[in-house]
Amino acid sequence: MSSHDYVIVGAGSAGCLLANRLSAGGASVLLLESGGRDRDINAKAPLAFAKLFQGPRDWNYLSEPEPALFGRRLYLPRGRMLGGSSSMNAMMYVRGNRADYDGWAREGATGWSYEEVLPYFKRSEDNADFGEPFHGRGGELHVSRRRWLSSHWEPFLDAAAASGIARIEDCNGPTQDGGALIQATIRRGRRHSASGAFLAPARRRQNLTVATGAHAHRVVLEGGRAVGVEYIHGGERSTARAEREVIVSAGAYGSPQLLMLSGIGPGDHLREHGIEVALEQPNVGLHLQEHPMVLMNWRCRTEDTLDDAEHPRYLLPWLLAGRGKLSSNIAEAALHWRSDPALAAPDFQIIFGPVYYWEHGFRKTGAPALSMGLAYIGPASRGHVRLRSADAADHPRILNNVLSAEGEIDAVLRALELAREIASRPPLAARVGEELNPSAALRTREELINWIRATCEHEYHPTSTCRIGPPDQGVVDPQLRVHGVDGLRVIDASVMPRVTAGNTHAPTLMIAERGAELVLGASA
């Protein structure tokens, strides 16, 4: 049995930052990662992120039949490698809205209001384009608007402005509403993941041990306290002892699964799988939120798109200088828009990409195309994560339950109408050809609703399954300590009381930054 001050489960966005911060002060840290290294060209070339889907570096989850989507099972990619999903995401750096965090604080997440969390966003940031008062410079994570860009993103924003959506410079600045060129976690034309930003600089520290291929099976509990983690490594069962704390950072699917495997969760459900109940906690795995996303595509009248980016001629410029189409993250610009002006924050993120993006990038078309992703970032529906079995290697049962709440489908219809309007406005209209999805033939409300339910996917943003809240409503307290268990915290996107109105990578890093401070403060 090895012994460490801290044992962290999961080397994703949160785990990599935590490993850096906790080891920096001299504490001994063991970081357990079920997957392997992120040494893959598809994890380095920004454009190639979809090439990792359904491969060995993907957890390759599948949802339960979704009731509001005609019973379809959704493919749910999550990174299974150093950096986690930050090593296979679309690299969009979007923090969400001020109202998200003020709402968290109002609902009991003391210390998590916007003004209180802003310093933690800035602490890890090295922004190439913006500085104070909203951005940091000199942190580990490089954020930039610079990469290969098509000639279409500005006409897209101009057409949106003609449709009443003002252009702004910084969606992470004083206001989120409007259309902007997206900031991305790209450095010198290459992905800058949490692994590259936070873990790589710390790897030579003698007090940090990183174990890849180490799959956690349960948190070891003794007398109401977490004292270690049992895991499989190299085919052998091992236990790592945590002298101070165990920190679970396995993500919105993995963290509740590990807690339940450890006997922390809804009692009847655990007993159903033969797991001894250590702590009755019905909220573990509940409150799952995801951003539904509907894709729309048009043929493009010019050749200036990413549809030919896999041609060998684009490889050498990227290898030598990080330039060219392989440095694109596909998502060039985005609108943050309120489908109802009475809302406190935007409920849609409309992403523009100069490529045919459909079915997670698996489906191709022979002609150049443009895409808009209508991501519903203000969902009301809730899903859950439950065990499939007591076997830690078995994927959990995941039900997103997207588009099941009243009014959600009407909001998506309004966004679809807006996207069609933008595509019809100059200067974008001159570049747009035939509407491929859903196609101009679908016009009636019933036709469009059926199409939405038949094709809706998601934006890869699961959260809230171990959310901050009192014991009767949440899993962790505002210090991210699991209710009822000493020495155990959850620090990742699963603790969000509600999903943010934007992409979840930046908020997850913020949560880890603040979580590290809370952990170190407790040990001082």
Same domain, 476 and 521: yes
Confidence class for position 355, pLDDT limits 50, 70, 90: very high
In this prediction, residues 434-454 reach a mean pLDDT of: 97
Please name the amino acid found at residue 264. I
Same domain, 434 and 470: no
Residue 318 lies in a domain: yes
Residue 391 lies in a domain: no
Residue 381 lies in a domain: no
In this prediction, residues 49-58 reach a mean pLDDT of: 98
- Is 461 among the residues known to form the active site? yes
Determine the structural domain holding residue 411 and report its residue range. 146-181+292-376+404-455
pLDDT value of position 524: 67
In this prediction, residues 125-144 reach a mean pLDDT of: 98
**CB under 8 Å to 281, separation ≥6 — which residues?**
259, 264, 265, 266, 471, 475, 482, 483, 484
Instruction: Assess whether pLDDT exceeds 70 at residue 63.
Output: yes
pLDDT value of position 71: 98
Same domain, 328 and 304: yes
In this prediction, residues 135-145 reach a mean pLDDT of: 98
Among 287, 461, 483, 505, the active-site one is: 461
Choose one of 395, 424, 455: the last residue of a domain.
455
**CA separation (Å) from 93 to 90, 96, 180, 223?**
9, 9, 12, 42
pLDDT value of position 500: 98
pLDDT value of position 497: 98
CA distance 395 to 254: 9
pTM for the predicted model, two decimal places: 0.98
Helix, strand, or coil (residue 307)? coil
Choose one of 455, 480, 496: the last residue of a domain.
455
Same domain, 83 and 138: yes
In this prediction, residues 28-33 reach a mean pLDDT of: 98
In this prediction, residues 410-418 reach a mean pLDDT of: 98
CATH assignment of the domain containing 486: 3.50.50.60
Residue 394 lies in a domain: no
CA distance 201 to 204: 7
Same domain, 227 and 324: no
Domain tally, the chain: 2
Choose one of 414, 435, 455: the last residue of a domain.
455
β-pair partners for 336: 178, 349
Residue 393 lies in a domain: no
In this prediction, residues 191-214 reach a mean pLDDT of: 98
Same domain, 427 and 477: no
In this prediction, residues 480-500 reach a mean pLDDT of: 98
Instruction: Assess whether pLDDT exceeds 90 at residue 414.
Output: yes
User: Residue 393: is it exposed, middle or buried by C-beta count within 10 angstroms (0-12/13-18/19+)?
Assistant: exposed
pLDDT value of position 150: 98
Same domain, 115 and 37: yes
pLDDT value of position 523: 78
Say how many CA atoms lie within 13 Å of 502 toward its Cβ: 27
- The residue assigned the tokens 């959310």 is 467
Angle between helices 408-424 and 153-162 (to 10 degrees): 110
Taking only the tens place, the pLDDT of each residue in 375-404 is 999 999 999 999 999 999 999 999 999 999
pLDDT value of position 1: 81
Contact 507, 494 (CB under 8 A): no
Same domain, 367 and 477: no
Same domain, 372 and 498: no
Residue 385 lies in a domain: no
Instruction: Assess whether pLDDT exceeds 80 at residue 292.
Output: yes
The average confidence (pLDDT) of the chain is: 97
What would the two tokens of residue 182 be? 């997206």
Residue 390 lies in a domain: no
CA distance 423 to 335: 14
Same domain, 231 and 272: yes
CATH assignment of the domain containing 164: 3.30.410.40
Same domain, 449 and 411: yes
Same domain, 343 and 207: no
Please give the backbone phi and psi of residue 51, each rounded to the nearest 5 degrees, phi first: -70, -15
CA distance 512 to 8: 12
Residue 399 lies in a domain: no
